[in-house]
Amino acid sequence: MSLPTIAMRVCVCLRCGWQWVSRKLDGKPPVRCPHCRSPYWDKPLERETVSVAVKAARAKEKKSRGKR
């Protein structure tokens, strides 16, 4: 005798990284993350990326300010 298979939906918050099993079986996505309470849990954060050249220029500028 084998055990019945149950399909469970595992959700992952793209904001805080929290993982949880959704208790709803209707197929609708959860309204918000239970950990951080973000309603945008399924959308990744969009952050501006700073190029390596810009970072190097800022570091050089900070060093030149400190030598004065």
At 4-39, the pLDDT tens digits run 988 788 999 999 999 999 888 788 899 999 999 999
Instruction: Quick: pLDDT tens for 35-57.
Output: 999 999 999 887 766 677 788 88
CB 13 within 8 A of CB 41: yes
Q: Quick check: is 3 in a domain?
A: no
Q: Quick check: is 43 in a domain?
A: yes
Q: Quick check: is 40 in a domain?
A: yes
Total domains, the chain: 1
Which range marks the domain in which residue 44 is found? Answer: 9-66
pLDDT at position 15 is 93
In 1-68, the DSSP E strands lie at 9-12, 19-22
**41, amino acid identity:** W
